């Protein structure tokens, strides 16, 4: 047990993440994933236990290939579970559902459709009983929240990568999921655009307060965004190796985070974990 985690434990952190059930949004129990390969079964994840609370922002870090995407895609219901279970608000998931929105590294928009049409694709599916005007309002509201009020009618193929990812964020929030799953959403962006999109994401999240689980390779991003940083051990048979509570007040700015006394302590803790 690390010093930082131990310190936080006295402030209410419960080891193994066993929180009161009414606080838990997402519960991964004894999760296991096995991929069949020509050389036999490959056990990527085993005995992975993690609870994530309502309204919590959790970032996931771990070495390349340890199984982060595997875990996230299982939560999304896009990848079958080999053992254990995953529940959202106490109900075992059986596949994908509108209670979980996903943002991938590449936003995978329909290139010939406009920003608005791309966001409406999800909104129309999830709110079939709303009027056309209501659905348009929802889509436009979120596009405006991500700073695309002037690009409703621009085709996705005419947008920069950063703007496309903004549409991806709007599309995910617009279906009003309970849980937002983000798989390295800013991994392909330059650092300036990346910083801008982190700000946009956290601004909307601050207002909507949905539970967010985000994979990142960037230690600074992991700290800036998260309430807790979850560290995965290296595979095979990866599990949760450590959890770091990030106690910075919200709303946060990059400047206040960088100037905070604990910042380099947190950073060192994560880097030490990744280097060992």
Ligand X SMILES: Nc1ncnc2c1ncn2[C@@H]1O[C@H](COP(=O)(O)OP(=O)(O)OP(=O)(O)O)[C@@H](O)[C@H]1O
Residues making contact with ligand X (CB under 6 A): 35, 37, 42, 44, 62, 64-70, 235
The residue whose two tokens read 């929180």 is: 19
CA distances, 176 to each of 109, 119, 138, 152, 173 (Å): 18, 12, 10, 19, 5
Residue closer to ligand X (CB basis): 61 or 246:
61
Q: Least distance (Å) from ligand X to the CB of residue 144?
A: 32
Q: Least distance (Å) from ligand X to the CB of residue 224?
A: 19
Alpha carbon distance 144, 166 (integer Å): 10
CA-based max dimension of the chain: 55
Residue closer to ligand X (CB basis): 5 or 82:
82
Q: Least distance (Å) from ligand X to the CB of residue 69?
A: 3
Q: Are 98 and 76 in contact (CB under 8 A)?
A: no
Q: Least distance (Å) from ligand X to the CB of residue 95?
A: 17
CA angle 8/14/16 to nearest 5° reads: 120
CA distances, 60 to each of 178, 193, 252 (Å): 18, 21, 19
Q: Least distance (Å) from ligand X to the CB of residue 72?
A: 8
Residue closer to ligand X (CB basis): 193 or 234:
234
Q: Least distance (Å) from ligand X to the CB of residue 96?
A: 17
Residue closer to ligand X (CB basis): 67 or 101:
67
Q: Are 25 and 52 in contact (CB under 8 A)?
A: yes
Q: Least distance (Å) from ligand X to the CB of residue 158?
A: 29
Residue closer to ligand X (CB basis): 31 or 66:
66
Bridge partner residues of 60 (DSSP):
215, 230
Residue closer to ligand X (CB basis): 255 or 276:
276
Alpha carbon distance 118, 157 (integer Å): 11
Residue closer to ligand X (CB basis): 58 or 159:
58
How many CA atoms are closer than 13 Å to the CA of 113, on its beta-carbon side? 12
Helix, strand or coil, per DSSP, at residue 149: coil
């Amino acid at each position: 047990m690390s010093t930082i985690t131990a310190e936080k434990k006295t402030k209410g952190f419960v080891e193994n993440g066993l929180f009161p059930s009414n606080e838990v949004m997402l519960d991964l129990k004894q999760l296991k994933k096995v991929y069949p390969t020509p050389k036999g079964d490959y056990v990527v994840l085993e005995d992975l236990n993690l609870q994530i609370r309502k309204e919590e922002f959790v970032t996931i870090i771990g070495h390349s290939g340890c199984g982060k995407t595997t875990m996230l895609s299982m939560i999304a219901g896009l990848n079958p579970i080999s053992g254990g279970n995953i529940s959202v608000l106490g109900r075992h998931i059986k596949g994908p559902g509108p209670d979980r929105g996903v943002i991938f590294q590449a936003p995978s928009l329909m290139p010939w459709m406009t920003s608005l049409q791309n966001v409406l694709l999800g909104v129309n599916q999830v709110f079939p009983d709303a009027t056309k005007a209501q659905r348009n309002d929802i889509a436009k509201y979120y596009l405006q929240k991500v700073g695309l009020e002037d690009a409703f009618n621009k085709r996705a193929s005419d947008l920069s990568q950063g703007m496309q990812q903004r549409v991806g964020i709007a599309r995910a929030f617009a279906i009003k999921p309970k849980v937002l799953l983000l798989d390295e959403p800013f991994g392909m962006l330059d650092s300036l655009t990346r910083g801008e999109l982190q700000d946009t994401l956290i601004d909307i999240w601050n207002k909507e307060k949905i539970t967010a689980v985000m994979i990142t390779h960037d230690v600074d991003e992991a700290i800036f965004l998260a309430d807790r940083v979850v560290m995965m051990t290296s595979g095979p048979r990866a599990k949760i190796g450590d959890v770091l509570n990030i106690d910075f007040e919200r709303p946060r700015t990059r400047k206040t985070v960088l100037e905070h006394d604990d910042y380099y302590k947190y950073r060192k803790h994560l880097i030490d974990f990744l280097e060992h």
